[in-house]
Amino acid sequence: MPNVVMSAAESALENQRIGGLQLRVAALCTLVQVCDGYDLNAVAWAVPSLIRAWHLPPSMFTIAFLWSSIGILVGALGAGPIGDRFGRRPLILGSLTIFGVASLLSAGAGSLGVISLWRFLTGVGIGGGFSGAAALTGDYTPHRLRATMIMLSFTGAPLGGFLGGQIVALLLGHFGWPVIFILGGVFPLLLVPALALWLPESPRFLAARQTVSPRHAALLRRLDIDPTQNAAVDVARGNPVLMLFSDGYALQTVLIWIVYFCSLLNLFLFAYWMPTVLTLIGMTPTQAVFASSLRDFGALLPAVYLGLAIDRIGPERTLAWHYAAGAVVIAVIALVALPYAMLLVVSVLAGMTTIGSQTGANGMCGKLYPARMRTSGLGWALGIGRLGGIAAPVLGGYLLALGLPPTQIFLSACVFALIAASATGLLAFRGHREEAGAIREVTT
């Protein structure tokens, strides 16, 4: 009878100690996520200024938001098979290069059509880098702490949004909207050579090679893997996308896709439209950017507790309640006329419960999928979720065009938060599946 056992190499990786190597990989992958967090907000920060510069109504910028999300969708879906079959490191380096160049080109756009093109290419780059960095963090983390470490690396995204918002708020009045995209292009392009020098490939890809360099052999020895043997490790040997529906993973995959669609719809609805909505109710572009950036600051706080809760209690109850709390906070923003100081506080809470829940979902996804399909699991979940990101700007623009009070366009997000909460809770019924890190061997 075929039994599922764990090879010595897999056992070493699934139980590795957290040391300098693991922390270096997590830190570098966090910097990749910083780029994503900045990019997610960049075009939204620019729109209030572009409305005045190009004399266009707010709803017209739906097209720029839309193409940005389509680009992230394309990048995330393509990243899964590339990262699981050919390696995380080349995926990350190539994606960041595309992202940085396209962001710089966005600074010279003179029309809505041109900036939409560059935002599409920026999205392609960040969609690939985002997935690859999360998967690589998981490869250098023991199973018992995987959700926590992946979630900590994903704090780079709200950190990029928060710090980027503060910097943009200071510079926007002096240099105009192009400075947003110049900063967004320079940082990832400076990051590429640093990653090329210090970011290692996934240990599973190195262990599976017939021959490795002395440098890679030393890295494998640090992980208690013999580099002279062709180790049995959990890498993709077939179509990693089809694997998402095999070995008992089908229900899990469908439920995670529902969670990501609803979660990212809400995240993008706020990210794209919150600065514009705040200017429509009387704030200056600088005030709107600052208030919106506090949402990203709030998203940093769940890293203190949510990842550990997912690792110890499980994602079902932990994330379900977190998404449900988000529905309450969203309702307050949509229905209550808040003074500016109180709005800043509620913006922090919105970040905790919307972006924070999505960060928790990323940690959950990286933990529930084994290494052979981890990039595909994350990439396709993010890709399907980006369909929600595509729907978000259209939904926001449509609701604004209907003449609703600006803040009430966010009321629809309450429904999607509750759907995400329900789908997360239903993961308790996902059933039997092959354990992460298992290698199928025939025994008698």
Domain positions in the chain: 2-442
Does 114 have pLDDT greater than 90?
yes
Higher-pLDDT residue of 348, 376: 348
Residue 197's pLDDT band (boundaries 50, 70, 90)? Answer: very high
Higher-pLDDT residue of 185, 76: 185
Does 416 have pLDDT greater than 70?
yes
Residue 5's pLDDT band (boundaries 50, 70, 90)? Answer: low
Does 444 have pLDDT greater than 70?
no
For 285-326, the pLDDT digits (tens) are 778 888 888 888 888 888 778 878 888 888 888 899 999 999
CA 84, chain centre distance (Å): 17
Residue 440's pLDDT band (boundaries 50, 70, 90)? Answer: very low
Is 410:269 a contact under the CB 8 Å cutoff? yes
Does 6 have pLDDT greater than 70?
no
Helices (H), strands (E): how many in the chain?
19, 2
Average pLDDT over residues 169-197: 92
Q: What 8-state DSSP symbol labels residue 246?
A: S
Q: Which CATH class is domain 2-442?
A: mainly alpha
For 334-369, the pLDDT digits (tens) are 888 888 899 999 999 999 998 889 988 988 887 888
Q: Which residues pair with 91 in a beta bridge?
A: none
Q: Which residues pair with 169 in a beta bridge?
A: none
If you compute the radius of gyration of the chain from its CA atoms, what whole number of angstroms results? 21
Residue 60's pLDDT band (boundaries 50, 70, 90)? Answer: confident
In 3D space, the residue among 172, 175, 316, 344 whose CA is nearest the CA of residue 251 turns out to be 316
Say which residues have a Cβ less than 8 Å from residue 317's Cβ, sequence separation at least 6: 425
For 20-37, the pLDDT digits (tens) are 999 999 999 999 989 888
Q: Most confidently modeled of 77-81, 323-327, 373-377?
A: 323-327
Q: What was the pLDDT predicted at 439?
A: 43
Is 272:394 a contact under the CB 8 Å cutoff? no
CA atoms within 13 A on the CB side of 281: 23
| DSSP run (H or E) holding 323 | helix 315-335
**This prediction's pTM:** 0.76
CA distance 286 to 271: 15
Range 166-173, long-range pairs (CB < 8 A, 24+ positions) = 166/290, 166/293, 168/45, 168/289, 169/286, 169/289, 169/290, 169/293, 172/45, 172/49, 172/285, 172/286, 172/289, 173/286
Q: What was the pLDDT predicted at 1?
A: 32
Percent of the chain with pLDDT over 90: 29
Average pLDDT over residues 170-186: 90
Percent of the chain with pLDDT over 70: 93
Does 229 have pLDDT greater than 80?
no
Give the count of beta carbons closer than 10 Å to the beta carbon of residue 249.
Answer: 21
Is 91:132 a contact under the CB 8 Å cutoff? yes
Residue with tokens 């995987």: 146
What pairing do the DSSP bridges indicate for beta strands 439-442 and 2-5?
antiparallel
Does 231 have pLDDT greater than 70?
no
Q: Range with the lowest mean pLDDT among 115-119, 370-374, 435-439?
A: 435-439
Q: Range with the lowest mean pLDDT among 101-105, 246-250, 436-440?
A: 436-440
Is 45:168 a contact under the CB 8 Å cutoff? yes
Q: List C-alpha distances in Å: 166 to 44, 180, 321.
A: 14, 11, 31
